[in-house]
Amino acid sequence: MIEPGTEAPGFSLPDQDGTPVSLADFAGRRLILVFYPLDFSPVCTDQLSLYQEVLGAIEARSASLAGISVDSFFCHRAFREHLNLTMPLLADFHPKGEVSRAYGAYREDRGSSNRSLVLIDDEGVVRWSYAAPSSKEVPGANLIFDALESLDRA
């Protein structure tokens, strides 16, 4: 998993509409990257639904949140609509898992991302990261809020 203090690797990935989204688009804002295995899987559905419930509170803390998986942007569009998500979902589809690998969140043995969270500060530096020990564990929203609070105190 990428270490705090590391400059966040740049990326440009299509969102659920096929529009390129890059790390530079979030310059000057804090960003939480949510790496997750696959759209429509039961645990990922629970995870993204949970984050949608608290998205307003995350944004109130001057942070944006974006999901990343190896699914195509077509799949992301259907998943986003199915769950009524408003956060962008970015397709790390081709080359498969390239961005997930750059952040240390790719699982070669599964061919998908590990369930991981990365907090990038407004200057593009990784300030916190978390990798779930099991693909069945949903990293709670409390982890995100604790990381944001820690960054506020720094």
pLDDT tens for each residue of 95-145:
999 999 999 999 999 999 999 999 999 999 999 999 999 989 999 999 999
pLDDT of residue 135: 86
pLDDT tops 80 at residue 154: no
Q: Report the candidate in 115, 126, 121 with the shortest Cα–Cα distance to residue 35.
A: 115
pLDDT of residue 140: 95
CB burial class (10 A; 0-12, 13-18, 19+) of residue 108? exposed
78: helix, coil or strand? Answer: helix
Which fold does the domain 12-153 belong to in CATH? Glutaredoxin (3.40.30)
pTM: 0.96
pLDDT of residue 70: 98
In the sheet that 116-120 helps form, which strands lie side by side, from edge to edge? 89-91, 63-69, 30-35, 116-120, 126-131
Catalytic residues: 44
